[in-house]
Structure 1
Amino acid sequence: MELKDRKTRITFHAGVLTIGGTVIEINYEGSRIFFDFGTEFRPELKLKDELLDTLIEHRLIPELDVYDEVFGRTVNGANTAVFLSHCHLDHTRMINYLDPQVPLYALEDTKRLIELLNQDGTFVLPAINKDYVTREILGVKPDSTIKVGDIEVTLHRVDHDAYGACGMMIRTPDCVIAYTGDLRLHGFDSADTVAFCEKAKNCDMLIMEGVSISFEGRPESKTNKFASEEALLDWIVDEVENHPNQQITFNGYLANVKRFAHIVAKVRRSVVLKEKMAYILKSLLDMDCLYEKDPNKDWGLNPELEVDISQRDEHPEKYLWQIQGFDDQLQSGGIYIHCDADPLGLFDPAYLVFKQQFLDKGIEFNHVGCTGHAFPNDLDAIIEMIQPKCLVPIHTLRPDLLLNPYGSVHLPQRGETI
């Protein structure tokens, strides 16, 4: 790709040589878009607070001119917009720090899911001195195009382990850029990823995540992960079938709405969800699910579907019960399925403490999952489908391992503008 003599400018503010915290700016003669708007996940830093200056100081977010003026910043919001590819926190966590005058766009499903997850104000970072819990997100339909000055952005669905995920096609008068967001080819909606690749074919630049290639040849790549969402679902169904008399509990990441929906549909026991999760499934998929009452909030669900928690212990063979965190009332000899739930793994200091509580209680602990990111071979397949003139790997620890037989590769530096 010939980069000179073009007016399009791309700045890689964050998300380079790391997993998460992607913030990229595209500028065409004063019109600007940004994607995404999350933070890096570094719990080991044990920050004193998570205010804007603290996050910038520790390089968890970049210095930008679109942060809320409440932080004492000068805001440049003219001909500017921010776009979200999906709801995961490394792509959304600082949306409440975005100045209210700057429009924020996402697919309607992502908008609704963020608002549901953040109803109690604990999902994304809290707004400072505002009367809203979640700042306004402008929901758009799949394949819709938003114009920001001379820049056009079209949002297309992709398959990821966050419901409502999208990739983006970005067009300026002199350039066509595809941004994958996070995507894969082995989920329930893999056809969406293939359709996105077809729309991106022969783009000038492909800005692409490469999470899975970060761990090639390292111990992290040899965990109890399944090759597809279907394979993971089959394992859960079999695990329940093979232990007909034991108390079995589970948890998953709430944004993986389709996984919860398939578990409810396929497991032969009655699946009882936390009321918030049942509300999410009702809101997004119009599914009616059994639920355990939330003592702190009335979600307005059908009271006939409520199951008292006493039933979990009195009739353990009847239910697959969702729990969140360790519950010391669980029965010894039971089984717990930790299905890509929080805490996510060894990189989180809370994980081993969490796991040990189950072991001390005599409960079998199964940490299983299916990655939301394309496997290394599938990354190659996606590049083959798109055949970009220039490939820019981001959201990975090893961008050098992604190759582009159809053109050049550019390995960006944090803060670099091309």
Structure 2
Amino acid sequence: MTFVRFLGGLKTIGGNIVEISQGNSRIITDFGLTQQSSQADVKTLLAKHDLPAVPELFLPQINKEEYVHQAIFISHLHLDHTAALEYLKKNIPVYMSRASYELYQQLVKSGLATNLKLDFQVFDPEVPVKIGNLTVTGFASDHDIVGISSLLISDGKHNFAHSGDIRLFGDHYDEVEKWTKKFNSLHLDLFLLEGTSFSFPDDKAGQLEQLQPEVNREVECGQRFALALKSLTAVPVVNLYPRNIERLVRFQKLALANQRPIVWEPAFARLLKHYLPAETIFTQTAGITGTTVVTWKQINAAPQEYAVQNSFTNLKQLVKLNKFAYLHADGGPLGDYDPDYLQLKAFLVGQNATFQRIGTSGHASKRELVKVAEMVRAQKTVIWHSFEPQLAEAALEANGLVTFLPELNHKYLFK
């Protein structure tokens, strides 16, 4: 008998965690939090339901021997899928794709992530990993982070799959097409599909009709940046998310091609140097091998010759620029729901700086999510990672799909 228990993420964006167990074997995926907590006491976090209801994975005094074979599998390295790892016991194996682990190591070396010192293991795409009675296979996918994987968990009789965060309009649509065909052939018992886009009103009237994989919105994002580089007389200041390596690389190359290189913060420069070892990286601080230092004075003297990368934590550094235009490319803060976003906008007004959004989402639109569910056509589809899962369920059911809205912490039996 196999049990499935949902430990989080049923009506939130992020923090979606599921436990699949059979006998003495258990798989958990993912392991994030819905929000970062300043509270370090595990018992308090468990009592507040900030951490999933698996105290044996956090508290050293609980030595539960029920599961001889167990592991946590991470679909990707966004914090809403990994933040609970900070509180995990050190002896629990944590699996992620090889590309995700490479990114994690470089983030740590660059000072952009904490070294958790856990028992990290890697998996390669489409290579099964055996954990006792259960088998997990990762499939490369498309999201706004390298190493993203969809995960297939099997007990030999039943098949369950976790989409991970997903989109159909990035650089890797072919990977999504591959795993959806595989999942379709298996007639999945349960397909766990993220439903982020159903949490928000549509930004554009035509958004629901965006179903063309040949329209690569990451390329369009780069085109908007290139246009800004060509047209702005003020210094373009770009706000990027460090874990979106492919976008960092794309912007770096576009800036050089347009003869207006980006001057990177030191941590970003170190990270980029790993992924572009042969390329000249411009940075604000000396001491990083293979980089060229550009000072604020040099930038002000020739504002049409440089762009600047800036993180919100270093926002006040921008007072050193005589004139700049702010290009938001999905680094934090992301929107009005974050108090820091209001602080950002107020700062820009005070500096007489223009503001432009040039980024693109890492999540599929509503119609695209319906398409993914149709491509997989599981026996039952669970929508999670959404504030409004019932809206997604209605859309799926209108297209002849069977949905299932589980209860938190309830164990569902598959005989």
TM-score normalized with structure 2 length: 0.87
Match of 2:101 in 1: 111
Which has the larger helix fraction? 2
Counterpart-to-counterpart distance in 1, 2:112 and 2:261: 29
Shift of 1:119: 4.2
Q: Establish whether residue 373 from structure 1 lines up as the match of residue 358 from structure 2.
A: no
CA distance in 1, matches of 2:277, 2:377: 39
C-alpha separation between the residues in 2 aligned to 1:207 and 1:351? 31
- Say yes or no: does 1:254 pair with 2:239: no
CA distance in 1, matches of 2:62, 2:356: 47
* Gap regions ≥5 residues in structure 1: 1-6, 125-131
CA contact (8 A) 2:139 2:149 kept: yes
Q: What residue is the counterpart of 2:306 in the other structure?
A: 319
Distance (whole Å) between structure 2 residues aligned to residue 248 and residue 197 of structure 1: 40
Counterpart AA for 2:244: N
Cα–Cα, structure 1 residues 264 and 26, in superposed 2: closer, same or farther, change >3 Å?
same
Q: What is the aligned partner in structure 2 of residue 129 from structure 1?
A: none
Change (3 A) 1:50 1:148: same
Q: Does 1:212 align with 2:163?
A: no
**In structure 2, the residue corresponding to 1:188 is in which secondary structure?**
coil
Instruction: State the alpha-carbon separation in 1 of the partners of residues 235 and 88 from structure 2.
Output: 45
**Contact preservation (8 Å) 2:280, 2:290:** no
**1:10 equivalenced with 2:4 (yes/no):** yes
* 1:237 matched to 2:237: no
**Could you report, residue by residue, the CA deviation over 1:349-391 in whole angstroms, capped at 9, with x for unpaired residues?**
1210122112101111223421111111111111121111110
Displacement of 1:230: 1.6
**Structure 1 position 400, deviation (Å):** 1.8
Contact 1:251 1:324 in 2 (8 A): yes
Q: Is the 8 A contact 1:290 1:307 kept in 2?
A: no
Alignment of 1:21-100 (within 5 A): 21-41=15-35, 49-70=39-60, 72-76=61-65, 78-100=68-90
Percent of aligned pairs sharing the same letter = 25
Runs of 4+ in 1 over 4 A off after TM superposition: 119-122, 404-407
SS of the aligned residue for 1:409 comes to coil
Instruction: Give the AA of the match of 2:290.
Output: N
Q: Aligned pair in 2 of structure 1 residues 362, 64: CA closer, same or farther (>3 Å)?
A: same
Question: Cα RMSD over matched residues?
Answer: 2.5
* AA at the equivalent of 2:241: Y
Structure 2 match to 1:301? 289
Query: Do the aligned partners of 1:177 and 1:203 also contact (CA within 8 Å) in 2?
Result: yes
8 A contact 1:197–1:386 mirrored in 2: yes
Partner of 2:129: 146
The 2-side partners of 1:218 and 1:115 are apart by: 36
In structure 2, distance between residues paired with 1:169 and 1:335: 45
Aligned partner letter, 1:210: G
Contact 1:32 1:81 in 2 (8 A): yes
- In the aligned structure 1, how far is the partner of 2:409 from the partner of 2:111? 31
The 3 A distance-change label for structure 1 pair 333 and 273 is closer
Structure 2 residue aligned with 1:200, among 183, 197, 202?
Answer: 183
The 10-residue stretch of structure 1 (49-58 or 280-289) with the greater mean CA deviation from structure 2 = 280-289
Per the alignment, residue 405 of structure 2 pairs with 411
The CA deviation string for residues 309-356 of structure 1, in whole angstroms up to 9 with x for no partner, is 432222211111111231243434420112111112211112101221
TM-score of the superposed pair, with normalisation by structure 1 = 0.86
The offset of 1:16, in angstroms, is: 0.8
